[in-house]
Amino acid sequence: MPLPPGCGDGDYGQAFETLIEPIVDQYRPQAVLVSAGQDAHVDDPLGSMTVTEDGFGAMALRCLELAKRHCDGRLALRARGRLRPRRLRTCVEAILALADQ
């Protein structure tokens, strides 16, 4: 889903609420598969977006909630991206923190 440059955590949250979640609710998948790239990270020099680690964690949590609602929690996240290793690590840590919830 294309978003304009400069979008951040709130914009992505809004996109989940108004577009992604209603579509997933309509289709009721048997599993949720996510290509979890961090190209939208605020530190990515090419992404032109402003998503933080907290934003990636929030999106992952929303994916988990959708998976629990529709497919007994079957969720797979595949990490990918070109971020610096330190930033990629902090994004993945934020995503994995959802397992504690």
Ordered by start, the domain boundaries in the chain are 9-100
Nearest C-alpha neighbor of 21 from the set 62, 71, 73, 79: 62
Whether the predicted model's global pTM rises above the 0.85 cut: yes
CB 66 within 8 A of CB 59: no
**Rounded to whole angstroms, how far apart are CA atoms 91 and 97?**
10
Q: Could you list the pLDDT tens digit for every one of the 101 residues in the chain?
A: 889 999 999 999 999 999 999 999 999 999 999 988 888 989 888 889 999 999 999 999 999 999 999 999 999 988 776 666 777 788 888 888 866 66
